[in-house]
Chains A and B, each alone.
Chain A
Amino acid sequence: MRKIAKTRIDDVLRALAPRYDLYVPVEGATTMRTPTATLWQEGLENASRFRLYEEGLPLYWRTNTGLSPKDLFFPQTEKMYTAISQGKTVEIKEESTNAWPIILFGVRSCDIASIDCMDRVFLQKGYEDTYYKNRRQRTLIFALGCSTHEDTCFCTSMGIDPKASPTADVQISDLGDAFGFTAQSPSGQQILASIDSLMSDAYTAQPVSPDPMLINVNLEGVTEKLETMFDHPLWDELSPRCIGCGTCTFLCPTCYCFDINHKSPTHAHIVKQRSWDSCMFVDYTCMAGGHNPRPSKTERVRNRFLDKLLYNRQRHGRVFCVGCGRCVSKCPVSLEIATVIQKIQAAEVTP
């Protein structure tokens, strides 16, 4: 392992920025509540997220970001193509692709697990999504091990190690006052070699371990139990609380549903785009004739949790929850997956 003092991390970022699109975790400005702050300069208070590195951005190293990095591969609204009609012909213009390499710097183990989930959906089911693939295949991931956690984190319950992500190109470890870098892939090795002069040896350094997490859920047997719970009264009990907003699905790093729609800037010109959609929205399953197969919140809430814990395990081979805690933190009514797993475990089923 090679290391660099935390105070000098900007040197590493400055060295990488000219060669890559470098995305780093940036704080949501939190100055809004202090009466003296001239907030328009600092931006509004919003969630921490990954942004393209610029010098002087307030970097956020404490825990995982408020918004997951999924929008870097799967933007909330993404242009697909433009169609322009001229007389009797229509010209289709594909969106141009880009080959410039990307580094995603400082991603937490939970979010790396979620990228694995997304890969399964967009790349590994027999059809490769070109839009996703274009960004994904030129991305190198620098994982950052956690030295602390939010109250809402529960990745350990989901079988994820907050300090290690073997699939990342480089693993960064929190050594207290320094960051330690370990290459885990040939490309990772190459990049680290190019910035090696900035770093010193850290043979004996031990990464700081986070305290035990406050939320512990038992995932064992949940998938199997859910197979028998489609008509269980639990869903009627849970669903009244849901307010049907898209917070959980939009913040969830493994939610991948989208809607294809278009904009018409002029009458002879449409832009086809896809945008995140949420299964918690009433219109998500609404069909052309007006029929809605998930007419009430009971069906929608049931679908979300069966999808996360059962259907995706059947379809993609893993549970689609990585314990990042974003829904726990942000669901307006605390109808989040950790509570639901506990309720599923406690539910009585008649054999």
Chain B
Amino acid sequence: MNENIIQVPDKSGISKIMREIAGDLLRQQTISLVIGWEKGILPNKSAPAFITQSQDAEKLIFDEYCYHNLTKYLLQRKGSGLKTAIFVKGCDSRSLVGLIQDNQIAREDICIIGISCPGLMEERNIVIPAKKCEICYTSVPVEYDFLIDCPETKTANDEPGGSYAHRELPRVENMTLDQRNIYWQKMFENCIRCYACRNTCPVCSCKECCFDQANPTWLGKGNSTSDNGFYHLVRAMHVAGRCVGCGECERVCPMNLPVMLLNNKLSLSIEELFDEPPASLSLDVTATLNHFKPDDPEEFM
């Protein structure tokens, strides 16, 4: 694997290597699509890019606004048999492992180009690290075919949940019952149910979501605190044990709601209960809730 690790002098050199690798892959015609990032309409905006022609590889960039976890896009290619190359940061690589383990994508159909991530910045306040970086558990991709290694790689948290879980979770957990009730009521009240959190989530891979079903209607289109709470709690339980903590759900929320808090709490609870590593850190380790052992704890049953 070592010849596939490319050192760059600093983070500004990442984009150039990305273009070279993507251009080469498309020229060799083994890959028909490269998914990466391009510059958006403003300096603090980057956007997902879909490159099919080698000459378009020049559009690719990597900067501190490349928040997007691109791995969900691979589901669009599911079953097509076409090969795709995809750029991933450390956090994104874990969701890729999850998708492969869930048989959503085949490892041989994708070429993973990892970027050891120098960290992202908050879009609205360009000196504050992005919130999703607070839960960073691995800034170096866990699975890759090529790795663009940058000396400025961000130091990841040595515990799952990171500083976010240490700051936000205890604060909510230490509230009185009434306060906590108001806290969640407020969150659900403010949700506009745009489903951005679900649609961007790389482990929400169902072809048809139960919340979109009309017959039976599990959840109507009406917006109310209780319906919104139902949505968030069901979603949290659906992704429990598979959430990789990429933080996309909270990043995309147009109402700035603390969406990842529930997922974070569940991930930590699972780890505490079963004493196994967080989900999707390696292709060889099955996620905690995807297998069982005779001596699994069951005090919650």
Contacts and interface: CB of A to CB of B under 8 A. Distances in A.
Contacts of A32: 256, 258
A45 interface: yes
A334 B175 CA distance: 37
Interface in B177-202: 179-180, 182-183, 186-187, 190, 192-196, 198-200
B72 A243 contact: yes
A275 B221 contact: yes
B231 interface: no
B196 A44 contact: no
Given A28-B256, A339-B41, A77 B222 contact: yes
A76 B223 contact: yes
A338 B220 CA distance: 32
Contacts of A273: 222
B124 to A, nearest CB: 9
A92 to B, nearest CB: 19
Interface in B193-213: 193-196, 198-200, 208, 212
Contacts, number: 129
A275 B212 contact: no
B222 A46 contact: no
A85 interface: no
A218 interface: no
B220 A40 contact: no
A214 B42 contact: yes
B214 interface: yes
A273 B223 CA distance: 10
Interface in A225-267: 237, 240-241, 243-247, 250-251, 259, 261-263
A87 interface: no
A39 B186 CA distance: 11
Nearest to B134: A33
B252 interface: yes
Interface in A23-43: 28, 32-33, 35, 39-40, 43
A54 interface: no
A283 B252 contact: no
A77 B195 CA distance: 16
A212 to B, nearest CB: 14
Contacts of B235: none
B258 A261 contact: no
Interface stretch (B22-30, B45-53, B152-160, B293-301): B45-53
Contacts of B223: 76-77, 275-276
B192 A44 contact: no
Q: How large is the interface on A (under 10, 10 to 19, 20 to 34, 35 or more residues)?
A: 35 or more
A288 to B, nearest CB: 9
A332 interface: yes
A281 B193 CA distance: 11
Contacts of B151: none
Contact of B222 (A237, A275, A330, A335): A275
Contacts of B222: 77, 261, 263, 273, 275
A35 to B, nearest CB: 6
A122 to B, nearest CB: 19
A47 B190 CA distance: 9
B167 interface: yes
Interface in A53-110: 66-67, 76-77
A306 interface: no
Given A240-B76, A333-B47, A250 B254 contact: yes
A171 interface: no
A46 B256 contact: yes
A215 interface: yes
A261 B215 CA distance: 13
A344 interface: no
Contact of B199 (A40, A237, A244, A336): A244
Contacts of B68: 332-333
15 contacts: A39-B171, A45-B258, A214-B42, A215-B42, A240-B76, A243-B72, A246-B194, A251-B254, A261-B222, A277-B221, A282-B212, A283-B212, A332-B252, A334-B46, A335-B47
Given A39-B171, A40-B179, 8 more contacts: A47-B256, A240-B50, A241-B48, A245-B199, A246-B193, A275-B223, A278-B194, A332-B248
